[in-house]
Amino acid sequence: MYPLISVFIIVVGALLLVFANKIIKNNKVNRIGIKVVGGILIIVGLLLLYFLLSGKLTLPLSK
């Protein structure tokens, strides 16, 4: 269950990166902010997926 959540986080981050220009058209600062948030989500999702699949991180429902 937790790996699926981390994959969902990665997908949301990727969508934010791809569609940042379509979400906000007139404010460059907000577009950059959305891209930064998308990149952070991708990094966090990948790290979480790595730690969950390698067994270095166990969560309460992981058993």
Q: Residue 32 in contact with residue 24, Cβ under 8 Å?
A: no
**The pLDDT of residue 36:** 93
* CA 44 – CA 50 distance, rounded (Å): 10
* CA 27 – CA 6 distance, rounded (Å): 30
Q: What is the pLDDT of residues 10-48, one digit of tens each?
A: 999 999 988 887 877 788 888 889 899 999 999 999 999
Tokens of 37: 């948030």
pTM, two decimals, is 0.81
Q: Residue 2 in contact with residue 61, Cβ under 8 Å?
A: yes
User: What residue segments make up the domains of the chain, in order of their start?
Assistant: 2-54
First to last CA, the chain: 11
pLDDT band at 63; cut points 50, 70, 90: low
